[in-house]
Amino acid sequence: MRAERGVPIVVAGERIESVRDSWLIEDRWWTGQPIRRHYHELVGSSGRNIVVFCDLVRGGWFRQTA
């Protein structure tokens, strides 16, 4: 996954055409393992939706799968 200015531009070899939505999840802040993720719903060059997130606690990008 390649990102530019905090938004992915290529995911699994597919070029990203646009960002459909973006949101931040902060949960479990009261525990020793908080969750803080920045999600992006993207539209790939094939026209399909792709959801990815950046783990802001541990670092790194991940693809959301069903």
Q: What is the pLDDT of residues 12-63, one digit of tens each?
A: 999 999 999 999 999 999 999 999 999 999 999 999 999 999 999 999 999 9
- Number of domains observed in the structure of the chain: 1
Q: Which residues form the domain of 44? A: 2-63
- What is the structure's pLDDT at 56? 94
Residue of higher predicted confidence among 5 and 12:
12
Determine the Cα–Cα distance for residues 31 and 15; give it in Å rounded to an integer.
37
- What is the structure's pLDDT at 61? 93
Amino acid at 24: L
